Structure 1
Amino acid sequence: MDKLETMKAFVTVAQESAFSKAAGKLNISPQLVSKYVSQLEDKLQIRLLNRTTRKVSLTEAGIEYYQRCQQVLADIDEMEGSLTDLHKNISGLLTISAPMSFGTKHLPKLFAEFQDIHPKLKVELKLTDRKVNIVEEGIDVALRVGKLESSSLIAKKITPINLAIYASPDYLKKHGTPNSPIELQGHTYLKYNNSESSMLFSQFGIEYKKLGLNEKIVTNNGDFLVNAAVYDEGIIIQPTFIAGEAFAAGKLKQILVGYEPAPLALYAVYANRKFLAGKVRTFIDFVSQFYGDVPYWD
């Protein structure tokens, strides 16, 4: 027996003075309303209502119980309302981890719009390309780019992250433009050291070692590689969210179109789905809608 449901049924019958009217207000059958009230009386071992063919009225005990029930139900409604207001008017500190390049380029606008809606919320953003332990380091939400390994954490896909292959016009003029992956032989490759270069062309059946690429620069920052490519240092494979601006400005050309590595994704990663704090759920809902299925940088 659901005590709250039986209390609601009893209070509504008392207010409407009829089982049928109470049933209509509660959108359930009169038989179920009668069953709820009877269960309540059996539980309390006391009669709460006087029933006649024309009218239902409260007994003396029913009057006292009705008043108590009204207060209990009002208190519950007030509590739930205050929690809803807390969810809508979120405040406090929200701690977020995000990759360096993505955070620098694409989070300021998101945070500006998010905090316009929630001005009482303070955001602490930790930019790092290191994979943080969100539980040990007290992170509410981690934004991660890549293909996620299975874990006990919850991951929500936010938007696709496309990769493309670029070089500067002057580099291509000097060294030639490859039209297939095998034509990369002898070219200079500016490598991101957290990636598995052997995987970047594996879907095309080419062994990375056979390409004979000159790994002239190896680093852990995509912005550096894009800038190096702009200065004619070599070929890069980078996410479009990093290289898109230089490409749009004509500083880089996209090459090997159709041979791009498989897309990655941006994920929001958090510790637990159950009883998620309002500020965390609100941010995840917001970021899920912000970039869309085709992000603005594409």
Structure 2
Amino acid sequence: MDTIAGMRVFMAVASHASFTDGARQVGISTKLASKYIGQLEQRLNAQLLHRTTRSVTLTETGKAYFERCLPLLEQFDELEGLVQKRQTELAGRIRITAPTGYGSAELVHLLKPFQDEHPGVLIELHLSDHHVSLVDEGFDLAIRFGVLKDSSLVARKLTDMRIVCCVAPDYLDRMGPLETPEDLSQHNCLLQTTGNVIDSWDFKTSDGKLSVPVSGNFRANSPRAVANMAADGLGIGRVPLYTAKPFLAEGRLKLILESYEARVLGLYATYPPNRHLTARIRALIDYLVTALAHS
């Protein structure tokens, strides 16, 4: 068994806490994955994994080995890429996790020109509205909105996203116009439940910050769901601008209360502080910053 191959299998199995899923990731059988890790443990004279019929977990030695394997494998991949390709070309895999709505509607379109320019880069995009552990799941980057909850991560701001109020034109035809944030108390407001405060919306006025109580007959944990319901005429939504954009372009939504907008949501590329950023990952982050600055 090649040591590098054994390390790759170990990383995959440990990341998934499963021989079956880990073996699938590297494209081998579960039996062969078990054999590789057994040979690796024998070579190291140390147990790396606790195995039961229901779970696979890292031993203390395994945790230390896992943390050191990751940057070594990344540097090895980069070295291979430099040998196999011209130095000016980028090659290798980048695993990214991103929010479902933003990833499927915006990020994929940003990634295409990068991959057109660097066809040797393989991007694996995992969409989830739950924050996953970058180290445990083996991700290189996380694209995330808002204040970072995990202070152990390094973050680079990519852009700021406006938080906008939007409504279908026919709703306004039925219910009448809104001229000030206070008018929202007379309207059906569609609420997003992922924030800390969902029953009031913040605005700015000449007198400072204004918090307006809001209520309505629809709530969702997805800004896309709120935008869809607003576009269907149910009520007024407050969502990140990217979520409303397709409906604005079609004329199904219009922006309201723009002069009162008080919030922007930071978009960040995050990664573990001990992660060796390969040339391809650094290039992708730099590209996203530039692309979003001109979008």
Q: TM-score, normalised by structure 2?
A: 0.65
Is the 2:168–2:252 Cα contact (8 Å) retained in structure 1? yes
8 Å contact from structure 1 (residues 90, 279) kept in 2: yes
- Are residues 1:224 and 2:225 paired? yes
Is 2:181–2:203's contact at 8 Å kept on the other side of the alignment?
A: no
Aligned residue number for residue 267 of structure 2: 266
Change in 2 beyond 3 A, CA 1:159/1:139:
same
Q: C-alpha separation between the residues in 1 aligned to 2:203 and 2:254?
A: 23
Can you list the C-alpha shifts for 1:182-212, whole angstroms capped at 9, x where unaligned? 111131111111023356316555444xx3x
% identity of equivalent residues: 31
Match of residue 32 from structure 1:
none
How big is the shift at 1:227? 1.4
Measured in 1, the distance between the counterparts of 2:87 and 2:193 equals: 41
**How far, CA to CA, are the matches of 2:87 and 2:166 in structure 1?**
45
Match of 1:248 in 2: 249
Q: Conserved in 1, the CA contact under 8 Å of 2:178 and 2:184?
A: yes
Q: 1:88 to 1:129 in 2, by over 3 A?
A: farther
Distance 1:265 1:227, change over 3 A: same
Does structure 1 residue 287 correspond to structure 2 residue 262?
no
Show the 5 A alignment for 1:67-78.
none
What residue identity is the alignment partner of 1:139?
F
- Post-superposition shift, 1:272? 2.5
Query: Does 2:169 align with 1:174?
Result: no
Deviation, structure 1 residue 86: 7.3
User: Per the alignment, do residues 86 and 153 of structure 1 end up closer, same or farther by CA in structure 2, a change over 3 Å counting?
Assistant: farther
Q: Deviation at 1:82?
A: 4.9
CA distance in 2, matches of 1:163, 1:142: 21
Task: Report what 1:135 is aligned to.
Answer: 135
**1:281 alignment partner AA:** R
Q: CA deviation at 1:274?
A: 6.7
Q: Indicate conservation of the 8 Å contact 1:100/1:128, yes or no.
A: yes
After superposition, the C-alpha distances for 1:113-154 in whole angstroms (9 at most, x for unaligned) are 111222122111011111222111111001112233461211
Residue equivalent to 2:144:
144
Shift of 1:110: 2.1
Aligned residue number for residue 10 of structure 1: none
> Cα gap change, 1:223/1:240 in structure 2, threshold over 3 Å: closer, same or farther?
same
CA contact (8 A) 1:158 1:291 kept: yes
Identify the residue that residue 39 of structure 1 maps to in structure 2: none
| Other-structure match for 2:111 | 111
In structure 2, the residue matched to 1:101 is 101
Structure-1 separation of matches of 2:274 and 2:171: 49
Residue of structure 1 in register with 2:164 after alignment: 164
The answer on whether the counterparts of 2:202 and 2:263 sit within 8 Å (CA) in structure 1 is no
Whether the aligned pair in 1 keeps the contact of 2:191 and 2:215 (CA below 8 Å) is: no
Aligned partners of 2:166 and 2:107: how far apart in 1?
Answer: 24
- Separation in structure 2 between the aligned mates of residue 153 and residue 88 of structure 1, nearest angstrom: 29
**How many correspondences in the alignment?**
212
Q: How far has the Cα of 1:90 moved from its partner?
A: 2.8
The answer on whether the counterparts of 1:96 and 1:139 sit within 8 Å (CA) in structure 2 is: yes
Structure 2: tracts of 5 or more residues without a match = 1-78
- Report which stretch shifted further, 254-263 or 164-173: 254-263
| Distance verdict in 2 for CA 1:112–1:183, change over 3 Å | same
SS in 2 for 1:184: helix
1:202/1:108 Cα in 2 relative to 1: closer, same or farther (>3 Å)?
closer
CA contact (8 A) 2:199 2:215 kept: no
Aligned-residue RMSD, C-alpha: 2.5
| Structure 1 CA distance for aligned equivalents of residues 260 and 273 of structure 2 | 38
For 2:273, what is the secondary structure of its paired residue?
Answer: coil
TM-score normalized by the length of structure 1: 0.64
- 1:5 alignment partner in structure 2: none
Measure the CA separation in 2 of the matches of 1:111 and 1:185. 41
Cα distance, 1:115–1:156 mapped onto 2, change above 3 Å: same
- Rounded to whole Å, the distance in 2 between the matches of 1:88 and 1:272 is 26
8 Å CA contact 2:180–2:257 kept in 1: the answer is yes
Q: For 2:211 and 2:165, locate their aligned partners in 1 and report how far apart those are by CA, in whole Å.
A: 17
Q: Hey, what's the Cα distance between the residues in 2 that align with 1:141 and 1:274?
A: 10
Matched residue of 1:183: which SS?
Answer: helix
Q: CA deviation at 1:87?
A: 6.3
Bigger Cα Rg: 1
- Which amino acid in the other structure matches residue 250 of structure 2? A
